A and B are shown apart, each in its own frame.
Chain A
Amino acid sequence: MIPFVLCFVLFMVGLFGVIMLRNLIKIVIGLSIMEYSVYLFLILIGYIDGGTVPIISECFEQGPYVDPLPQALVLTAIVIGLATKALMLSVAIRLYKHYGTFDIREMNKLKG
């Protein structure tokens, strides 16, 4: 029970960063922390006590396997997370070149 609660606290820390901070880079980092907590939560759900790696092989003992379905979903999600982070950072570079700052309060005035 305690790992689930700590995972939720990590999610709340990331959400706090997205809402309350001014620097654009820190907002991107807060979103990234939220993504990490969701990956960990999905793998925590599928864990079995005393479970082994889900590979059929005679090199190690075959007890009950850990659930392989959440691992397949999170494997795809990790690579897609990198692509969306790169897209957010490229928009941040464009905004810096136009306004001269990363501060989102200064970007309220329409310019150009």
Chain B
Amino acid sequence: MEIYLIIMLVLMILGSVHALHTKDLISTVISLGIVGFGLVISFLILSAPDLAIVQVVIEIITLAIMIAVIAIATFQLEKKQWRFSFVFYAATIVFFTFVVLLVSSRFSHILSFFGHHTTRMADIYMKSAADSGSANLVTGIILHFRAYDTFGEATVLVTAVTGVLTILRHSGKKNKH
């Protein structure tokens, strides 16, 4: 199981590096699709079918929205696409490599091995799953034990939609008078 996960993660890293280095805007958006659909297969390998369904459909809608947004501009970028100079770019890459090595050497002390899992809250949820009355444990958690978080999520969605409708309001109201 672990080898398939490592292959999918390497594919996602290659896709994301290509998405940030290319000069064409359409290729960038399609390379984001590589990362998103690789995430779907990773969720299926890790036995999470609810998340795979939601991530597939949301990734398709995200790609449609992004192509509709970048169609208002030209698809080619100008020649320089970095904010700072080349020296800063090389120094940032060296610094990030150093940070990755430092953190991964600390991981072996803090995190347990992959596949062995030690939490206490999950045991309580799995033992008292029959109290909520649903065979699907994830649905029982989000609608019986933690229904307040689902209510908060619905509120965040409504607020975001109100924000989008306000920002993109057409400014034709002033011409009516």
A/B: CB atoms within 8 Å of each other: yes
Task: List chain A positions with a Cβ less than 8 A from chain B.
Answer: 1-10, 12-17, 19-23, 25-26, 29-30, 32-33, 36, 39-40, 43-49, 51-57, 65-69, 71-72, 74-76, 78-87, 89-94, 96, 102-105
Contact of A82 among B58, B117, B168 (CB under 8 A): B58
With known contacts A36-B35, A68-B125, A69-B122, A21–B117 Cβ distance under 8 A: no
A47 to B142, CA, bound (A): 19
| Pair B104/A8 contact, Cβ less than 8 Å | yes
When distances are taken between beta carbons in the complex, the residues of chain B under 8 Å from A8 are 100, 103-104
| Pair A76/B83 contact, Cβ less than 8 Å | no
When distances are taken between beta carbons in the complex, the residues of chain A under 8 Å from B16 are 10, 13-14, 17, 33
**A-side binding surface: helix, strand, loop or mixed?**
helix
Distance to closest chain A CB from B19 (angstroms) = 6
How many contacting A-B pairs (Cβ < 8 A)? 227
Task: List chain B positions with a Cβ less than 8 A from chain A.
Answer: 1-2, 5-6, 9-10, 12-13, 16-17, 19-20, 25, 28-29, 32, 35-36, 39, 42-43, 46-51, 54-55, 58, 61-62, 65-66, 69-70, 72-73, 77-78, 80-84, 88-89, 92-93, 96, 99-100, 103-104, 107-108, 111, 113-117, 119, 121-122, 125-126, 129, 135-138, 141-142, 146, 149-150, 153, 156-157, 160-161, 163-164, 167-168
| Pair B77/A23 contact, Cβ less than 8 Å | yes
Contact of A76 among B69, B107, B153 (CB under 8 A): B153
| Pair B46/A1 contact, Cβ less than 8 Å | no
18 extra A-B contacts, CB within 8 A, seeds A33-B35, A94-B168: A2-B2, A4-B111, A13-B16, A16-B20, A19-B92, A26-B81, A36-B39, A43-B42, A45-B117, A47-B46, A49-B116, A53-B47, A54-B137, A56-B135, A69-B119, A71-B50, A75-B54, A93-B168
